[in-house]
Amino acid sequence: MSRDDDPSLSEDMASHETQPSQETHTIDTTSVQNLLEQHKQNLKRRRRQRNEAIKVAHTARMEGLGKAYERAKTQYQETVRATQRPKLERLLHLIKKKREVKVSIDDCVSQKEAAFMGTVDKIMLAADARSAAME
C-alpha cells in the first residue's frame, strides 16, 4: 500500500516523515560541532603531550651524550698523560744529562787552557832565562 492510495495521509505528513525537523537538525549540527571541537582539543592535547615527551627524551639523550663525552674526554686525557709522562721524564733526564756533559766539557776545556797557558808560561820563562844567560 502506497501513500497515494491511503487518503488519511496528507502531503504535509509525508514530507514530515522524510525530512528531519529544524530542531533535530540544529541539535545534530551542534552535537557534531561539539564532537569536532572535542576531537580538535584531543588532537591538540595529544600533540602537546607528544612534543613534551619528545623534548624530555631529547633532553635526557643530550645529557647522556654530554656525560659520555666528558667520560671519553677524561679517559683520553688520562691516556695521553700516561703515554706522555714517560716521554717527558725521559726528556727531562736527557736535558739534565746534557747539562752535566756541557759542564764537564767546559771543565775539561778550562783545564786544557790552564795547562796550555802553564806550558806557555814555562816556555816563556825558559826563553827569558836563556836570553839572560846568553847576555
Q: Find how far residue 59's CA is from the centre of its chain.
A: 14
Residue 5 lies in a domain: no
pLDDT per residue over 72-87, tens digit each?
999 999 999 999 999 9
Report yes or no: 49 and 57 within 8 Å, Cβ to Cβ: no
Residue 4 domain-assigned (yes or no) = no
Examine residue 65 and state whether it is found in any structural domain, yes or no.
yes
Q: What is the reported pLDDT for 18? A: 55
Domain that holds residue 52: 12-134
Alpha-carbon torsion 9, 10, 15, 21, what sign?
A: negative
Give yes or no for residue 109 having a pLDDT over 90.
Answer: yes
Give buried/exposed letters for 67-86 (b at 16+ CB in 10 A, else e).
eeeeeeeeeeeeeeeeeeee
In a domain, 123, yes or no: yes
Model pTM? 0.43
pLDDT band for position 123 (cuts 50, 70, 90): very high
Q: How many domains does the chain have?
A: 1
> Is the dihedral angle over the CA atoms 72, 73, 79, 82 positive or is it negative?
negative
